[in-house]
Amino acid sequence: MAPERPAGVGAHPKPSRRRPRAAYKPYSVEPPRQTKPDGAGLYAALDLGTNSCRMLIARPRGAQFEVVDSFSKAVELGTGLEALGKLSHAPMERTVQALRICRAKLDKHSVRSMRLVATEACRRARNAREFINKVQRETGLRLEIIPPEEEARLAVVSCAPLVSARTEQLLVIDIGGGSTELVWIDLSTVPPARRRRAIMDMHQSFEGADAPSGARVVDWISVPLGVATLRDQFGDVQDDAARFALMSWFFEEQLADFSPYDHPQPREGFQIIGTSGTITTVAASFLGLKRYDRNKVDGLRMTSDQIDRVIRDYLALGPEGRRTDPRIGRERHGLIMSGAAILMALMRVWPTDTMSVADRGLREGLLYAQMNRDGVLDVT
């Protein structure tokens, strides 16, 4: 029997499907004024989400890229959005301060090619355009609000290096602050040696990628619930275990129209890749890392039993224990259980043996897409 839904739960947008309504008009990007000529080979990608502002500056290096500079800060832009329907003053000011730092880094490296994007919080806020204008006035940066489909595509592209040559069916999961994207891709007709290349080619369009690459998008969905928005939906539930159960059940409800939900999942040739702060934190906890090490986490394969044990350990710790657990970290402890609730729901729906952990996401997808467009990656 499903738990009783708390009052007010459910007043959020429906999941975005294969062809999202009314694409949000992108804002053009104005690069910082050039001061040095050495930024020609550099690319930048900025992801302003519901919870965090992250940026990477990188140069192409073979089939990958080399990070030159980076920035990450929990700005909590979406604070109050669930209740008010708009971005609040204090979160906007925190975000502008973070973007000023990003602007300084772009100027320092004289970056010429960049994409600076905003996602779910700005998609939903009724004052998003005013905020975008404020950012431009105060930092000189112009953000573009990307639609859910593009966010899903870029999450898929970022995971291309982790796709196994044996993978015939691929599910990519990206748990964000304000939304969660899931994409199921059929690679069975693509030669094994070309499967990573086929995923990389999806940066332009899900539909457009089908014909030339052979990869076929079975279905995709953008659920407007992420670690921050799901937490806020159930913030008034006091009991820790009950809140976790309600969050997980409520998220699973949103997946009912996703094609793979009732589709028999193949065991052979089926790969799930999960990308998000939640998933990398669970992986770091499983490894017992007190200091995060990306080289140990990115590409790690975890079984469903291992994931389940870590999440049960989080529940046993309780709020105070999670707050002081060095494996979780100060910026993640308040969000880890809503993220774990999403992850638990997904593992129930797709009861597979393993998940590949990706310490990569929208920023990496933006970089790969730009470099792939310019032909500067050696993807052979």
Q: Do 37-146 and 150-362 show the same overall fold?
A: yes
In this predicted model, what pLDDT tens digit does every residue of 158-195 receive, in sequence order? Answer: 999 999 999 999 999 999 988 999 999 999 999 999 99
- Alpha carbon dihedral 192, 196, 197, 202, in 10-degree steps, equals 120
pLDDT of residue 3: 47
d(CA 252, CA 261): 10
pLDDT of residue 10: 42
Q: Please provide the DSSP assignment of 26-79 as one string.
A: PPPP-PPPP--GGGTT-EEEEEE-SSEEEEEEEEEETTEEEEEEEEEEE--TTT
In this predicted model, what pLDDT tens digit does every residue of 263-283 receive, in sequence order? Answer: 555 567 889 999 999 999 999
- Residues in the chain predicted with pLDDT less than 70, given as ranges, are 1-14, 16-40, 205-213, 259-267, 351, 379-380
- Alpha carbon dihedral 345, 349, 352, 356, in 10-degree steps, equals -50
- Count of positions (residues) in the chain: 380
Domain ranges within the chain, ordered by starting residue: 37-146, 150-362
CATH level 3 topology of 150-362: Nucleotidyltransferase; domain 5 (3.30.420)
In this predicted model, what pLDDT tens digit does every residue of 25-72 receive, in sequence order? Answer: 333 344 433 333 355 699 999 999 999 999 999 999 887 899 999 999
Residue of 248, 256, 250 lying closest to 311 (CA atoms): 248
pLDDT of residue 259: 66
d(CA 302, CA 380): 28
CATH level 3 topology of 37-146: Nucleotidyltransferase; domain 5 (3.30.420)
Q: Where are the alpha helices (DSSP H) in the chain?
A: 81-84, 89-109, 120-124, 128-139, 148-158, 195-200, 206-213, 227-233, 240-253, 277-287, 294-297, 304-324, 336-349, 362-374
Cβ atoms 247, 234 nearer than 8 A:
yes
pLDDT of residue 313: 96
pLDDT of residue 333: 87
pLDDT of residue 197: 85
d(CA 21, CA 281): 34
